Amino acid sequence: MTASSIAPARPHWSSRLMFVFAASGSAVGLGNIWKFPYIVGENGGGAFVLLYLACLIGLGAPLLIGEVFVGRKGGEFPASAFLRVAREKAMSRLWGGLGALGAIIALMILAFYSVVSGWVGIYTVDFAQAVLGGDAARSGADAFSAMLADPTLQLSAVTAIVVTAGLVIYYDVTGGIQSVMRYVAPLFVVLLVAMLVMVAATTGKLGEAFTYMFQPDFSALSVDAFGEALGHAFFTLSVGMCGMLIYGAYLDDEANIPRLGISVALLDTAIAIAAALIIFPIVFAFNLESNGGPGLLFIALPQGFTLLPNGDLFGLGFFTATLLAAFSSLIALMIIARHWLEETLNVSGSSATLMAAGATWIGGAAVTLSMTVWDSISILGLSLFDFLDQATSSWLLPISGLGMAIFVSRAIVPDMPEGPVKIYLRAGLTYIAPLGIVVLIWSKAVGF
Ligand code: PFF
């Protein structure tokens, strides 16, 4: 990373825009393109979108802003950052545990994130081959199941992605992120907008998708939908796992964190909605299942692409954009793990990078094998994949989010200048987040 002239002692982003690019590179990922559309489909559309937006505004964005503040004050090492800020405020050392919890959640997410990124890689290569005149790209449920049943193919994809991500990080963390994001972010947005326009023009179903996404039908909502919306608000903004803290560490003291944070949250939300507005017109045009769950992206969408004129090109564009988004998020997650291993084990950055990449690969390999050769093994009745997904999104992220909300509302918010931003953060972090998360955890534990 380039050292800024503002504070030579600490590296800084070369520009504020670079912060927004890098933080969005972390935030925009499989959560936006793979998960958001399928949970909207599973929860009946508009009412869920509204609930999700409320969670983003009420809890997600305030937490994002809070995490960035902690990073700027405490530095780029998760546990030390919380410790340093806590010490300054004469708060307990135990708050350092939030950094460790965040990093452990990141490692758990990495195990399945690397696998789904691998699937995206496999589909991207498939569509590229189809465009170049090779075999037709895989499409439909059978092709997806065949891929899931092939450990060698999945392991190769996980290995390729994890090794590439490890190399990017190994050769200078933030410099790596900046140079990757400088090209990836604009390319991604161009691809996505092009896809949106082409899909709208070819299917003629954009209006229907709009109605589905924005006309609330509250009868389709369940209590579980609240948990899903809340957990996903954290996941998509990379908060609750120190994803944003690290980027805050490289911000200069003059940067307007609330404004930058809101920009990242808006961009992330716009991209999730754009992805859904690409997927649902295809689903409606070809009468595919909108509630197809995690397979929506890999089963329904390629089926739609094969029915569209120039479908292979659509497929290649879409899966390339998704791969870019997944890759930059994977790097961001691995950087959290690297920093935490570095501070905890007191090893060099390069060793910590190797360890983070190794841990990701082992996790990814275990998830892959648990779907194939070890498929008889289950944890609490769930596959390893579902266990990691549910444990992080439904339990650990809300718990660490609650801790961070309490911490930021005590350690950061009181020092902020009076005004609407302080009122917003106080409302979100002191009242809405704790109340929402406690109700969520209670409803899950007791069930109502
Ligand atoms: N926000 C990413 C997504 O929506 O796919 C996931 C993620 C990336 C979480 C990086 C945390 C993180 F640090």
14-23, pLDDT tens digit by residue? 788 888 988 9
Quote the ligand 1 centre to 245 CA distance (angstroms): 13
- Residue bearing the bigger pLDDT, 202 or 444: 202
Q: What single-letter amino acid sits at 238? A: S
How far apart are alpha carbons 433 and 59 in whole angstroms? 5
**Model confidence band, residue 4 (pLDDT cutoffs 50, 70, 90):** very low
Question: Is the pLDDT confidence value at 344 over 60?
Answer: yes
Q: Which of 126, 149, 145 is nearest to 136 (CA)?
A: 126
pLDDT tens-digit readout, 98-140 = 999 999 999 999 999 999 999 999 999 999 999 998 888 888 8
Q: Look at ligand 1, atom 7, and give the residue with the nearest C-alpha.
A: 238
- Residues 329 and 25: beta-carbon distance below 8 Å: yes
Quote the ligand 1 centre to 97 CA distance (angstroms): 20
Question: Would you state the pLDDT for residue 71?
Answer: 96
**Model confidence band, residue 175 (pLDDT cutoffs 50, 70, 90):** low
Cα dihedral angle (59, 64, 65, 71), rounded to 10 degrees? 140
Q: Which of 145, 165, 164 is nearest to 154 (CA)?
A: 145
Question: Is the pLDDT confidence value at 93 over 80?
Answer: yes
Question: What is the phi/psi pair of residue 6, to 5°?
Answer: -70, -45
CATH of residue 293's domain is 1.20.1740.10
How far apart are alpha carbons 413 and 69 in whole angstroms? 10
pLDDT tens-digit readout, 371-416 = 888 877 788 888 899 899 889 988 899 899 999 999 999 999 999 9
Q: How many CB atoms lie within 10 A of CB 253?
A: 10
Question: Is the pLDDT confidence value at 1 over 70?
Answer: no
Burial of 313 (0-12, 13-18, 19+ CB in 10 A): middle
Q: What is the 3-state secondary structure (H, E, C) of 135-162?
A: CCCCCHHHHHHHHHCCHHHHHHHHHHHH
- Residues 110 and 388: beta-carbon distance below 8 Å: no
DSSP assigned state of 219: G
What is the full DSSP assignment across 391-447?
IIIIIIHHHHHHHHHHHHHHHTGGGSPSSHHHHHHHIIIIIIHHHHHHHHHHHHHH-
SS3 382: strand
Using a pLDDT cut of 70, give the percent of the chain over it. 96
Which residue bears the tokens 């595919």?
Answer: 288
- The pLDDT of 141-156, averaged and rounded, is 93
SS3 379: strand
Question: Is the pLDDT confidence value at 87 over 70?
Answer: yes
How far apart are alpha carbons 101 and 92 in whole angstroms? 16
Question: Would you state the pLDDT for residue 13?
Answer: 80
Number of domains present in the structure of the chain: 1
Average model confidence (pLDDT) across the chain: 90
The sign of the torsion formed by the CA atoms of 173, 174, 179, 185 equals positive
How far apart are alpha carbons 423 and 202 in whole angstroms? 46
- Residues 286 and 305: beta-carbon distance below 8 Å: no
pLDDT tens-digit readout, 281-299 = 998 998 888 877 888 899 8
Quote the ligand 1 centre to 109 CA distance (angstroms): 9
How far apart are alpha carbons 53 and 229 in whole angstroms? 8
Q: Which of 35, 335, 13 is nearest to 166 (CA)?
A: 335
How far apart are alpha carbons 389 and 394 in whole angstroms? 8
Quote the ligand 1 centre to 393 CA distance (angstroms): 11
**Model confidence band, residue 174 (pLDDT cutoffs 50, 70, 90):** low
Quote the ligand 1 centre to 268 CA distance (angstroms): 11
**Model confidence band, residue 448 (pLDDT cutoffs 50, 70, 90):** low
- The pLDDT of 216-234, averaged and rounded, is 86
* 77: its two tokens: 């090492």
Question: Would you state the pLDDT for residue 190?
Answer: 87
Question: Is the pLDDT confidence value at 7 over 80?
Answer: no
- The pLDDT of 302-329, averaged and rounded, is 89
Question: Is the pLDDT confidence value at 6 over 70?
Answer: no
* Structural domain for 69, as ranges: 3-446
CA 108 to chain centre: 13
Longest Cα separation, the chain? 66
- Residues with CB under 6 Å of ligand 1 are 26-27, 29-32, 106, 235-236, 238, 241, 243, 329, 332-333, 336
How far apart are alpha carbons 401 and 238 in whole angstroms? 11
- The pLDDT of 43-63, averaged and rounded, is 94
Substitution candidate for ligand 1 out of 39, 107, 238, 268 with most atoms within 8 A of CB: 238
CA angle, 277 then 278 then 281, to 5°: 80
Question: Is the pLDDT confidence value at 305 over 50?
Answer: yes
